[in-house]
Amino acid sequence: MLIRFSVENCFSFLERATFSMIPGLGRLKKEHINARKHGVTTLKTAIAFGANASGKSNLVKAIALGKQMVVNGTLNGQKVTYAPYRLSKDAPKQDTRIEYEIQAGRKNYAYGFVFNEERIVEEWLYEITNKEEKMLFERSDTNTFDIAPLLHKNTKAEHKQFLQFVAKATPENQLLLREMIVRRVRENVEDIRDVIAVYNWFEQSLKVLLPNERYKEGISTELVNNEQLHNIFEQLLDYFGTGIDGIELQDVDVKSLNVPQQLLEQIRNDVFAKRNARVILQTSENTFFFSKDKGALQIQKFMTKHKIRGTKDYEFFDTKDESDGTNKIIDFVPVLIDLLRGNNVFVIDEMERSLHPNLIYDIFDIYLRSATDVQSQLIVTTHESSLLTQKLVRKDEVWFITKDENGTQLHSLEEYNVRFDKEIRKDYLLGRYKAIPRLGDRDEALACIKLNTK
C-alpha cells in the first residue's frame, strides 16, 4: 500500500508537496481503512479535486515517473527523464526529489531518489519500524554507496563481493534498486528480500492509468479459462447498464491480423519467453489476447454479445462498435475486480472521462462496500463533484489541488473544521476549499469577443 508520496521540483510542483494515505482522527467509516501493518494503517481510497491546470494530472504523472525510473530504468548513454518546474529562474537548474513510503511484503519502507537529467544524485532505502528507521542502503552525490546493512545480511564472502561489485558498477543514470534486478542479484546472494519486495511493489502492485490509457493487465488475461471471472465480468457489465448480454473470446487466424510483422514477432517472443504468458494488444478497434496453446501461438479477439430481439441468437460486436462510455466501463471492470483481489494500488487520472456521474459513484460504492477485508487502494483525480459527499467518503479521503506563484499545492479536507454531517459539495463549488477555477472579468471577455468577431 502507499503510505505517503512526496515530490519537489517536478512538473508543476516547485516546493515539496506531500500526499498522504494515513487516516486522520475521524472514527466514521472504519471499513475504509486497511489493516494495520507495523503500526501503520492506510486509507483504501483518495479523491483529488482541482481546477483545470492546477496540477492534478501532474501528481499522477510524478507518481508514474518514479515507477518508470524503477521498472524501466534509463538506457546507457541516455539522459534521465527529467521534468523540473519551468516557471522559476533557478528551478530548471536544480534537482528533482521523489520519495515513496510504502507497505511491501510484510514491512514498511521509505524509498526515494534525487536526480537531474545527467545522473542520480542521491538514492535511499529505509525500513520503517514502530521505533526507528533502519537504513538498508544509501547513495551519495559522489555516486558512492553505503550498502553495509545488505552486506550484513549476506554471510558468504563471494556474495558480499557480488553486492559490492553491482553497487560500484551502477551507472550514474541508473537507480541501484533497478540495477540489482537487472544484474540478477537475487540469484547470486543469500538475502536481498527487502530490495525484491520494494521492486515488486513498483512493478506488480502500483498501477498508474493516465486519461487515454487502458488497463492492459489483470483479470482480462484470465477470462479464457476462469468461468467465475467470466461470470463476474458479465454481471458487472449488466449491472452498469451497458446493454451487453455477454462477452466472448473468438479465435482469430494470424493471417487476418492487420498488425505489422515486427510487432507480431515481438509479441510472439514475449509469449514464448515466459511460461503461461499472455499478451494483450489493444488497437483503436479491437482487443486481442495472445497466448501459447500446444506449442503454437493462439490469438483471440474480445467480443461483446447482444441478443437479437425475437430470437435466441446473438450479434457479436467489436469494441469499436461500442460507445466510448461502454468501452470505459469495459476497462473499469477489470480494475474493480483486481482491486477486490487485493494488494493493488490503482492511481487513475481523470476517472470521469466518458462516464456518467452515477456510474462513477457506483464504482466507488461497490469497491468500498466490497473491500472491507481486502488490502487495496483506489486513488483518483477528478472534476466529478458528486463524489464530494461524506455519505460516500471520509474527510481524510478528500484532497484539493491548487496552484499559485509557488507551483502546485496539496491540502486535505481533514485540515478544515467540517462536521461529519455537513454536505461539502456546495461549499466546494462556492470556493471554500479554493480548488476551483478562478475566472476573470466576464464583461471584459465578452467585450473582447464582440470587438474581434465583427
Cα-trace Rg, the chain = 24
Better pLDDT: 170 or 285 = 170
| 434 confidence band (pLDDT: 50, 70, 90) | confident
Between CA 115 and CA 10 the distance in angstroms is 10
User: Tens digit of pLDDT for each residue in 95-123?
Assistant: 999 999 999 988 999 999 999 999 999 99
C-alpha cell at 357: 456521474
User: Tens digit of pLDDT for each residue in 347-392?
Assistant: 999 988 778 888 899 999 999 999 999 999 999 999 999 999 999 9
Eight-class DSSP state of 10: B
| 1 confidence band (pLDDT: 50, 70, 90) | very high
Round the average pLDDT of the chain to a whole number and report it.
89
Between CA 407 and CA 425 the distance in angstroms is 25
In 3D space, the residue among 231, 237, 222 whose CA is nearest the CA of residue 323 turns out to be: 237
Between CA 269 and CA 298 the distance in angstroms is 13
Report, as an integer, the average pLDDT of 121-127.
97
Structure confidence at residue 218 (pLDDT): 56
Better pLDDT: 428 or 214 = 428
| 223 confidence band (pLDDT: 50, 70, 90) | low
C-alpha cell at 384: 466529478
Report, as an integer, the average pLDDT of 22-29.
90
Between CA 36 and CA 28 the distance in angstroms is 17
CB 444 within 8 A of CB 413: no
| 207 confidence band (pLDDT: 50, 70, 90) | very high
User: Tens digit of pLDDT for each residue in 226-281?
Assistant: 777 778 888 888 888 888 998 888 888 888 888 888 888 888 888 887 665 778 88
Report the predicted TM-score, pTM, of the whole model to 2 decimal places.
0.91
- What separation in angstroms does the CA of 418 have from each of 69, 348, 447? 39, 27, 41
Query: What percent of the chain clears pLDDT 90, i.e. is strictly above it?
Result: 56
Residue 222 has pLDDT above 70, yes or no: no
Structure confidence at residue 221 (pLDDT): 53
